């Protein structure tokens, strides 16, 4: 038998590198930098040896980080490489060197542009240079591990492909457990972002001197309040600086000389405020059958206020919609919206302090004017608030909440460990690439006003407006199941399928992004651990600091043999419609929460009757007359279908809803009993938590909410 060798190469740390992010652009650029480094590593892998990923280059048509942080390659003897073990080892070493060289090139270009360009005054500062070189040393920063294993066991017997993959993965895990700890002294003022490393500075390391250094950086041409706090309160270490200003690197923007020339403007990334405002801005771009002239006049008055502030919308779906008229040869009346940040639809933005901090703008006669400042008329703030009030009167107020989604494929390593051939592995790799590069961007950015942070095979991280967050999550889950699942089923001879676990963090647009990122990650982990994978967990963090979480499987078997399933999101869509249309009052939640201890001790039929009684007392039949369609979503069996479609459905709907909710609670407890083993924990309580979340969605996003 021909001796072959498998190489698994991994780059880290991933979470700590991207998680330290104050701005959305930090999160995206941290992910993009890692993908760019993996792209450099993959250039050293022979094409015929590469198994995963199938495409070794970033798709720069969208600039979404879409390369995983590891690769798998298989080396067999060839005429040019008679020794496959040596070839595998050489490739791993070359990949490591390529990562180091690319990182150092990017760091050098950022340093040159930010600190050593003409007029900076810090070109020859030895203190600044010493801190920079110490902190950007790739051998101290990155954790690069690789393992090589033969396709035979200790007795020389051939291994099945899955066993070969598992053996190599176990060797990699063993290597990771022997971490290389390098002591690193970080004296003085720490970065206000990471809190771990010394903030960059020149001679003199007191807090006042460090702050003054960063205040001077913020005054440089091309640096705005959107990049860096203008008063020096934001002080970064070298790693934070590279992530914040990575677009100053020509080699990063150009794709290492492969013809991709772009500007910073074309690589703008939306703020959390823009994500919260996305559905509202979508409304502004949607013509109305009635009162169209009033709509245009209201928007035009607001436009005169926000046009001077010059930002970037940076949401492909909305930018395409704003340019829609150009496709028909007409002037695009709303193309100016592409130069508006979402915070311009929130009244809290229009204060002298926020305008000075975020837009380098000052109110004439109120503040001293310095070069480079945007000077606004003394009446600007009053006019802005008036224009916003008129906008709200016509369109309603925008929600200040947005969502961050984190998705991860379930047990992909285990699935690969069970397949029988390298061709099957490549087939799954191709399906993962197709999902990440074609379907994920379409679902998140083309069909809805979301924004991808990264899509690396079975890992997805994305921002979404509150109203569309659940629809994006559900559609991603379905697409993954169909696209990747078909390859997995074929490779496993029908014994396996592909599922995902997902976490959604919902937060106020002014909440610290680091906290929101941690919430999304913890929610995704809960979906795997508490709910046994193939599940969704949602966490809301109110601005007051209160939190609420709820989770469920994507579907539950509703009959023996599983031929009929209950889809929780369909039930939840019906409920949120009832709340949004005021058919059902949220007061029912307070009553049910008070009655919960008693309800949990009742038989299932009695629970249904009592919950139906509470719902009926809070039911507004007048509001329901205009919208009977949602009742169809409760029809999971013949009884419910008949109930929903009969003439008496208005009277019976509270009972149908109670029946669905009680049975969902029972299915939750049956499907994952470990999640509800505590004394103050039950499926019914979980359902009530979901109802609270749905009432919140209805209040904040109204009839725009779509859950599937």
Per residue in 638-683, pLDDT (tens digit) is 443 444 444 455 667 899 999 999 999 999 999 988 888 776 789 9
Higher-confidence residue of 340 and 581: namely 581
Residues 352, 367: contact at Cβ < 8 Å? yes
Containing 537, the helix (H) or strand (E) segment is strand 535-541
pLDDT surpassing 50 at residue 284: yes
Highest mean pLDDT among 200-204, 228-232, 472-476, 493-497: 472-476
How far, CA to CA in Å, does 540 sit from each of 50, 259, 274, 598? 42, 43, 19, 27
User: For residue range 345-374, what is the model confidence (pLDDT) as tens digits?
Assistant: 999 999 988 888 888 788 876 656 566 678
- Least reliable range by pLDDT among 172-186, 441-455, 626-640: 626-640
**Residues 604 and 666: beta-carbon distance below 8 Å:** yes
- For the cut 60, the answer to whether the pLDDT of residue 262 exceeds it is no
Would you place residue 634 in the very low, low, confident or very high pLDDT band (cuts 50, 70, 90)? very low
Q: Highest mean pLDDT: which of 22-31, 457-466, 636-645?
A: 457-466
C-alpha dihedral (88, 90, 95, 101), degrees to nearest 10: 180
Summarised one tens digit per residue, pLDDT across range 582-597 is 999 999 999 999 999 9
**Any idea which of 35-49, 246-260, 545-559, 653-667 has the lowest mean pLDDT?**
246-260
Phi, psi of 635 (to 5 degrees): -80, 80
Q: What is the pLDDT of residue 368?
A: 61
Confidence at residue 367, expressed as pLDDT on a 0 to 100 scale: 59
Residue 257 has pLDDT above 60, yes or no: no
Domains of the chain: 5-181 (3.30.70.2220), 272-395 (no CATH), 399-554 (3.30.70.270), 557-708 (no CATH)
**pLDDT for residue 104 is more than 90:** yes
Is this prediction's pTM over 0.85?
A: yes
> Would you say residue 306 has pLDDT above 50?
yes
| pLDDT above 70 coverage of the chain, percent | 90
Residue 390 tokens read as 């008129």
Segment 420-447, tens digit of pLDDT = 899 999 999 999 999 999 999 999 999 9
Residue recorded with tokens 């095979």:
457
Tell me what pLDDT residue 645 has: 47
Q: Which residue has the tokens 């006003």?
A: 449
Q: What is the mean pLDDT of residues 155-182?
A: 90
Whether 459 has a pLDDT exceeding 70, the answer reads: yes
pLDDT score, position 259: 42
Given this model, what pLDDT does residue 355 score? 87
379-388: average pLDDT: 92
Which residue, chain included where needed, has tokens 């066991």? Answer: 153
Per the prediction, the chain carries an average pLDDT of 88
* pLDDT at residue 649, rounded to an integer: 56
Q: Between these two residues, 286 and 199, which has the higher pLDDT value?
A: 199
DSSP 335: G
State the DSSP string of 577-631: HHHHTTSB-THHHHHHHHHHHHHHTS-HHHHHHHHHHHHHHTB-HHHHTT--GGG
More confident residue, 98 or 260: 98
Query: What pLDDT shows up at residue 596?
Result: 95
Q: Average the pLDDT over 491-495 and give the result.
A: 90
pLDDT of 149 over the 50 cut: yes
Q: How confident is the model at residue 61 (pLDDT cuts 50, 70, 90)?
A: confident
> Distance (Å, rounded) from C-alpha 342 to C-alpha 351?
15
- Asked whether the predicted pLDDT for residue 333 surpasses 60, the reply is yes
């Amino acid at each position: 038998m021909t001796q072959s060798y498998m190489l698994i190469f991994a780059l880290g740390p991933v979470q700590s590198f991207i998680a330290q992010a104050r701005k959305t652009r930090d999160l995206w650029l941290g992910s993009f930098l890692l993908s760019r480094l993996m792209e450099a590593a993959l250039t050293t892998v022979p094409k015929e040896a590469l198994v995963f990923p199938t495409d070794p280059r970033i798709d720069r048509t969208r600039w979404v980080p879409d390369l995983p942080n590891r690769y798998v390659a298989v080396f067999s003897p060839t005429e040019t490489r008679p020794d496959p073990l040596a070839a595998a080892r050489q490739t791993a070493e070359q990949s490591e060197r390529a990562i180091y060289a690319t990182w150092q090139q990017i760091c050098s270009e950022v340093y040159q542009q930010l600190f050593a360009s003409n007029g900076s005054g810090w070109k020859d500062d030895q203190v600044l240079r010493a801190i920079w070189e110490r902190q950007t040393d790739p051998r101290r920063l990155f954790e690069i591990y690789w393992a090589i294993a033969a396709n035979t066991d200790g007795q020389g017997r051939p291994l099945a492909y899955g066993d070969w993959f598992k053996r190599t993965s176990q060797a990699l895990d063993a290597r990771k457990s022997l971490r290389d700890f390098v002591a690193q002294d970080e004296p003085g003022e720490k970065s206000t972002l990471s809190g771990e490393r010394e903030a960059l500075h020149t001679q003199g390391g007191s807090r006042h001197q460090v702050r003054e250094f960063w205040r001077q950086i913020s005054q440089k041409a091309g640096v705005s309040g959107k990049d860096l706090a203008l008063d020096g309160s934001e002080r970064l270490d070298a790693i934070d600086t590279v992530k914040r200003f990575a677009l100053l690197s020509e080699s990063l923007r150009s794709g290492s000389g492969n013809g991709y020339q772009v500007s910073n403007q074309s690589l703008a990334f939306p703020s959390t405020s823009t994500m919260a405002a996305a559905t509202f801005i979508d409304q502004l771009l949607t013509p109305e059958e009635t009162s169209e002239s009033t709509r245009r006049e209201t928007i035009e008055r607001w436009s005169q206020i926000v046009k001077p502030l010059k930002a970037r919308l940076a949401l492909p779906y909305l930018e395409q919609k704003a340019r829609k008229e150009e496709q028909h040869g007409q002037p695009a009346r709303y193309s100016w919206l592409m130069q508006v940040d979402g915070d311009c639809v929130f009244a809290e933005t229009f204060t002298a302090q926020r305008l000075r901090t975020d837009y380098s703008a000052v109110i004439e006669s109120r503040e001293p004017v310095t070069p480079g400042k945007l000077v606004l008329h003394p009446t600007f703030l009053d006019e802005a608030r008036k224009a916003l009030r008129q906008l709200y009167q016509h369109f309603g107020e925008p929600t200040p909440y947005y969502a961050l989604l984190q998705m991860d494929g379930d047990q992909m390593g285990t699935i690969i460990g069970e397949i029988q051939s390298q061709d099957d592995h490549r087939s799954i790799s191709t399906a993962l690439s197709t999902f990440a590069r074609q379907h994920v961007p379409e679902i998140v950015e083309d069909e809805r006003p979301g924004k991808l942070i990264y899509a690396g095979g079975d890992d997805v991280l994305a921002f979404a407006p509150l109203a569309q967050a659940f629809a994006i999550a559900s559609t991603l889950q379905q697409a993954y199941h169909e696209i990747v699942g078909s390859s997995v089923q074929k490779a496993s001879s029908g014994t396996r399928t592909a599922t995902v676990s997902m976490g959604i963090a919902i937060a106020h647009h002014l909440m610290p992004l680091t906290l929101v990122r941690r919430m999304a990650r913890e929610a995704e982990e809960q979906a795997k651990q508490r709910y046994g994978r193939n599940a969704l967990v949602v966490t809301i963090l109110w601005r007051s600091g209160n939190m609420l979480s709820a989770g469920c499987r994507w579907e539950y078997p509703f009959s023996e043999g599983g031929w009929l399933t209950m889809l929780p999101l369909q039930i939840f869509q019906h409920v949120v419609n009832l709340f949004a249309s005021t058919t059902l009052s949220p007061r029912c939640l307070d009553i049910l929460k008070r009655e919960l201890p008693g309800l949990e001790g009742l038989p299932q039929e009695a629970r249904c009757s009592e919950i139906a009684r509470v719902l009926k007392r809070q039911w507004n039949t007048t509001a329901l007359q205009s919208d009977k369609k949602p009742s169809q979503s409760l029809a999971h069996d013949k009884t419910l279908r008949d109930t929903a479609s009969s003439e008496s459905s208005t009277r019976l709907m509270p009972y149908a809803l109670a029946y669905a909710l009680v049975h969902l609670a029972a299915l939750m407890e049956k499907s994952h009993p470990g999640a509800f083993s505590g004394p103050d924990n039950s499926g019914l309580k979980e359902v009530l938590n979901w109802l609270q979340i749905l009432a919140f969605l209805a209040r904040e996003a109204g009839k725009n909410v779509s859950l599937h």
